[in-house]
Amino acid sequence: MEQLLETRESLVNSWNYLLIESISLDSWGQVIEASHGYKMLSRSISEAISYSGQFSYKEKKELDHAREIIQERSRILECTDLTQNSSENIGGIRSIIPVLEQLKSEPVDVSNETDVTEQLENTKLIKDTLEPPKTELLLNEDNTDVLQQISYNKEGLSNLLPEPIHEQGMSYFSVRIEKIGLKNAQSLVDPSITILVKNKKGDDLSPSQSTPITHKTDICYIWFNQTVYIQNSLQSLDKEDRIYFILQHFKQKENKISTRGFSILELDEIEEGIIALEIYKKPVQFKKKKLSLLSVKPLYLHLTLHITHN
């Protein structure tokens, strides 16, 4: 236990040091150095949320929120003209300092912790049972199992990855998932979008990512407002590779995670700016074949693409 807390304290201390150093660079207008520091911090926190058993569920929620603030600040700095005052609106990033101080001053023993919060959330979703929900298998065009289950964040925690460290001479891009048009959008329970990068054979080219569930809906749209950093450089992708956006939701009566539809981003469609993708009926197909639209109405997945050239 003492070794666990010592490792935890060292990790939090390193975060605190990197955060303060990055804020200092940020306040002096050194946007490139500050953005790099924020990226390193975001990646380290993301790894701790995903793999570390040193933080409680509540602490991981707080760290996940802090990570989103850090990522957003890094994105703002990259879009900032170097002649402008980049230190404006730096207050949000400063609010993370007391969060890290709290983690350092009050270590929590999580060695015997059971995820009571998750059980309570399942109870809210499934009133009559605590049985974990089933997850639909992805199917190929022959309706045979692809042996991959789409992850689903019923806890509301994002497993979106931080921006990758850029290799010299390579170009990278991010996808801002704004909203998805859907008939009776408000009827979907806990919708989430999973992002997959696949080659023409259907093989994964990078880890899958999933947005947090959202409850921002109206009659025709589900709003996500989440930025997804594609981990592959543009140069490493083949012209036949594709990026899939798979809309999932929870079916209460069947106690099952279901796929509602999916969209495909082709490599030749990747350019700076706004794009609207068609939405297709399930099952998700990873090989080129005739696809059927989910609706005859003009409803789309709305994205904003941003390309970074190193």
Please report the domains of the chain, with CATH numbers, ordered by start residue. 2-105 (1.20.120.360), 134-309 (2.60.40.150)
Token couple for 8: 């935890």
Residue 80 — very low, low, confident or very high, per pLDDT cuts 50/70/90? low
Q: How many CB atoms lie within 10 A of CB 213?
A: 21
How confident is the model at residue 121, as a pLDDT?
Answer: 42
Q: How far from chain centre, in Å, is Cα 76?
A: 18
Say what the pLDDT of residue 147 is. 32
Per-residue pLDDT at 107: 52
How many whole angstroms separate alpha carbon 226 and alpha carbon 68? 9
At residue 106, does pLDDT exceed 70?
no
Residue with the larger pLDDT of the pair 39 and 269: 269
Q: ∠ CA 259-263-269 to the nearest 5 degrees?
A: 165
pLDDT at 52: 59
- pLDDT tens by residue, 148-205: 344 444 444 467 888 888 888 999 999 999 999 998 888 898 899 999 999 998 899 9
User: Measured between alpha carbons, how far is 153 from 191 in angstroms, rounded to an integer?
Assistant: 10
CB 300 within 8 A of CB 181: yes
Whether residue 233 has pLDDT greater than 60: yes
pTM (2 decimals)? 0.57
Across the range 66-94, mean pLDDT stands at 72
Listed range (2-11, 148-157, 202-211, 241-250) with the worst mean pLDDT: 148-157
**149 Cα distance to chain centroid:** 17
Average pLDDT score over residue span 117-139: 43
